[in-house]
Amino acid sequence: MFYQPEAGHGLPHNPFNAIVAPRPIGWISTKGGTGDNLAPYSFFNAVAYVPPQVMFASTGAKPDRKGTKDSVAQIAETGVFCVNIAAGDDRQRMNASSAPLPAATSEFEAAGIPSAACRTIDCLRVADAVAALECRMTQIVRLAGEANFAVFGVVTGVHLRDDCISEGRFDPRPAGGWLARLGYKDYTAVTDLFEMDRPK
């Protein structure tokens, strides 16, 4: 089949998210005048090595946030955020932190997720995450459509869980592998790896 998005796809569910998959989950923690926030975003990835940089995109808005969500609003306020990497063992509490809570309610507290202070920025992180990337925001880009924003940041500090370092490599399989979003309500935990050398 072929379809043009503006004309509709004719399917019972939008296939776009299932096409661009799997997508790593950036579990974004922020801090602002209303308190601490934690929310998962599957439009997330690394975008550069030197200096290390990441991005995540937020779509949709909350009624109490005037055209965006808590994460973007707080990053615009403070200029910092932390990307906590979600592992397979985190699936239930990651999902719990996606609840549409009031801006002043902390997902850390509501979902019973342990927190710890970041070291290079004024923000909390998930204390037992397999990895956490402390970031300073470099730009927030307004994307086409309503309430679509891309947030870019440079990484200023990296936390790795000791049991997820094996033979000098980061490997979160002891925590259930990398948690990733597919389409619809589907997720996967990446545990099956293989290596390939690039042609010379």
CATH number where 121 lies: 2.30.110.10
CA distances to 10, 83, 136, 146, 194 from 38, rounded to whole Å, are 35, 10, 16, 22, 32
Domain hosting residue 106, numbered range: 22-189
Whether residue 30 is contained in a domain is answered as: yes
Q: What is the pLDDT of residues 88-101, one digit of tens each?
A: 999 999 999 999 99
Q: Which pLDDT belongs to residue 78?
A: 98
Q: What is the pLDDT of residues 107-124, one digit of tens each?
A: 999 999 999 999 999 999
For the entire predicted model, the pTM comes to 0.95
Q: Which pLDDT belongs to residue 81?
A: 99
- DSSP codes, 25-55: -EEEEEEETTEEEEEEESSEEEEETTTTEEE
Q: Which pLDDT belongs to residue 63?
A: 81
Q: What is the pLDDT of residues 27-85, one digit of tens each?
A: 999 999 999 999 999 999 999 999 999 999 999 888 877 789 999 999 999 999 999 99
Q: Which pLDDT belongs to residue 141?
A: 98
Whether residue 200 is contained in a domain is answered as: no
Whether residue 12 is contained in a domain is answered as: no
In total, how many domains does the chain have?
Answer: 1
CA distances to 40, 42, 123, 163, 170 from 173, rounded to whole Å, are 20, 19, 27, 9, 9
Helix (H) or strand (E) holding 16: helix 16-19
Q: Which pLDDT belongs to residue 66?
A: 78
Q: Which pLDDT belongs to residue 155?
A: 99
Whether residue 49 is contained in a domain is answered as: yes
User: CA 173 to CA 171: how far, in whole Å?
Assistant: 6
Whether residue 2 is contained in a domain is answered as: no
Q: What is the pLDDT of residues 132-165, one digit of tens each?
A: 999 999 999 999 999 999 999 999 999 999 999 9
